[in-house]
Amino acid sequence: MTTVFTMMDSPLGRLLLSGVRDGDGPTALAAVTAPGQKGAQAEPADDWEYDPDALAPVVDQLTAYFAGERTTFDLPLAPVGTDFRRRIWKALDDIPYGATVTYGQLAAAAGESPRAVRAVGGAVGANPLLIIRPCHRVMGASGALTGFAAGVERKRWLLDLEGGALF
C-alpha cells in the first residue's frame, strides 16, 4: 500500500488530504487536516507520494460542500483507530447535514453508555476525517460550542455554512 497526498485551498485554510492506494482500485481517504489542527499531521511524511489525481474526487466533493452544493460525501474511507473510535466515528456519519447532537446523544447512537461522554469526546477529537465525518456537528450538553481540533472558529463557520447563514 502507498500513502498519497494532495493539498487544497478551502475557506478553512489549506487542507492536507491523504489517502491509501492499494493496487489499481480507488484511493481510500485516510485523513483531512486543517492548518494548526490539534493532534494531526501538519505536513506530508517523507515517504508519501504527491498524487492529486488519486484524491481528485475528494477535492471535488469538498469544493462542492464548501460552495453549499453538497450535503453528503461518497468516498472510500480508511481511517486508522481503535474499535471504540471507529464506532464513534461511524456514528458521526449518521448526523444529518445542518443538525447537531450532544456528546451524550452520540454515545447512545454508537451503543455506548451516556456516561462515556469523555471517551466519546476523545474519539471525536481524534477523528482524522475532518469535515467528511462531521465531528463539527457535536456540541456540549448545553448546546454550547465545545472543542474542535481545527479550532472553534472553524466549527462555527462549518455550522453556519450548513445552517445557510453563508449563502
Residue 10 catalytic?
no
Instruction: Judge whether 29 and 19 are in contact, CB under 8 Å.
Output: yes
119 — alpha (psi -120 to 50), left (phi > 0) or beta?
alpha
Helical (H) or strand (E) element with 109: helix 103-109
Rounded to whole angstroms, the Cα distance separating 31 from 114 reads 28
Choosing from 17, 32, 117, 135, the catalytic residue is 135
Cβ–Cβ under 8 Å, residues 73 and 60: no
The sign one gets for the Cα dihedral 161, 59, 148, 110 is: positive
The catalytic residues are 135
